[in-house]
Amino acid sequence: MAAIAFNKVIKRYGSGPKANQVIHGVTAEIRDGEFVVIVGPSGCGKSTLLRMVAGLEEITEGTISIGERVVNQLEPSERDIAMVFQNYALYPHMSVFDNMAYGLKIKKVPIAEIRQRVDKAAQILELGGLLQRKPRELSGGQRQRVAMGRAIVRQPQVFLFDEPLSNLDAKLRAQTRLEIEKLHRDLGITSLFVTHDQVEAMTLAQRMIVMNAGRMEQFGTPEEVYHRPASTFVAGFIGAPPMNLLKDVKGVRDGVLLGIRPEHLRVVESGGWTVAVETIEMLGAERLVHGHLGGPQGQRMIVRMQETETPPVPGQTLHVLPLEDRIHGFDAQTGRRMEQP
């Protein structure tokens, strides 16, 4: 196992004044044995960052280290990493066993050791009864487990996951997340996992890197990112539904955006803020009330209510109070967090 260090990493495509810079000076350190998720919207640079670790993209400036080695000039095969892709990339004519063993056979690992490694990985991933099947005989979740097994048998220093759950349905994604979490707990191998899904990020990460337009907005634990977002971008991206961001709120000084999550608004009989109710989403144990602060023309707001609370109806005025210790302040110009809203 090994730590991963990004030091002022920049990526540009092209050269000269027309160069397109897509990664802007990322500096971060992933600890040995840590599971870090890189999360952000499409086009934010998260996969590019991962591919630079893998050696599939060149680094324009800065350095990436794996363990004690700067790997900028090393070929992918020299970096001691294993990668799991969004598409399973299995050989359709090979059995599960042969797909998992192929990389070891290329390296001329003795057959007895190959079988031992494959059998161990199959046991971890509950693939023991499927080793003689072809990929076409497997479900999507089983194919993804085979792809993970192929990575495990290599016994790398680092696992790299590039949106590996994107092709699975919601139920399989949830199940496979648990399998990946258990896998990391059992093996303890340093892992980087890329996703655009903030739920995956929050449930899997020990720490998470939130990317925005090629820049690292925040690097912290899921709890830190959720409860103390470093910027309006993080506040709006992490959390479902996102944080309410409000301007020109009475009692808040100019130039400050006030942030409050929908679950941190308490419904009261009178007083507080008024919300003109527009629509209501029924989500089983809770409801999301969509409306406008102060009246139908006001700023959009979302209030989360529990099923035990009497729901409002569209057109009604709802009174809410924000929990004072859950209010966030952001600079209206820079979008960065302020400690005193």
Which structural domains are found in the chain, ordered by start? 4-235 (3.40.50.300), 244-338 (2.40.50.140)
Name the pLDDT band for 341 (thresholds 50, 70, 90).
low
φ and ψ at residue 331, rounded to 5 degrees: -65, 125
Q: Name which residue leads in pLDDT, 220 or 152.
A: 220
Instruction: Give me the amino acid identity at 268.
Output: V
* Percent of the residues in the chain that have a pLDDT greater than 70, as a whole number: 99
Q: What is the DSSP letter of 177?
A: H
Mean residue pLDDT of the chain comes to: 92
Give the pLDDT confidence score for residue 110 in this predicted structure. 94
Predicted TM-score (pTM) of this structure: 0.89
For residues 23 and 212, give the distance between their C-alpha atoms in angstroms, rounded to a whole number. 10
Task: Report yes or no: 304 and 288 within 8 Å, Cβ to Cβ.
Answer: yes
Chain segment 11-33, per-residue pLDDT in tens: 999 988 889 999 999 999 999 99
Chain segment 224-283, per-residue pLDDT in tens: 999 999 999 999 999 989 999 999 887 777 889 999 999 999 999 998 999 999 999 999
Give the pLDDT confidence score for residue 171 in this predicted structure. 82
Tokens of 76: 């992918």
Give the pLDDT confidence score for residue 18 in this predicted structure. 86
Give the pLDDT confidence score for residue 109 in this predicted structure. 92
Name the pLDDT band for 141 (thresholds 50, 70, 90).
confident
What is the pLDDT averaged over residues 290-315?
93
Give the pLDDT confidence score for residue 88 in this predicted structure. 76
Contacts of 335 (CB under 8 A, 6+ apart): 231, 232, 233, 257
Give the pLDDT confidence score for residue 340 in this predicted structure. 64
β-pair type (61-66, 69-70): antiparallel
Question: Does the pLDDT value for residue 216 go beyond 80?
Answer: yes
Question: Does the pLDDT value for residue 145 go beyond 90?
Answer: no
Give the pLDDT confidence score for residue 125 in this predicted structure. 85
What is the pLDDT averaged over residues 39-47?
94
Name the pLDDT band for 165 (thresholds 50, 70, 90).
confident
Strand-pairing partners, residue 39, are: 195, 210
Give the pLDDT confidence score for residue 255 in this predicted structure. 86
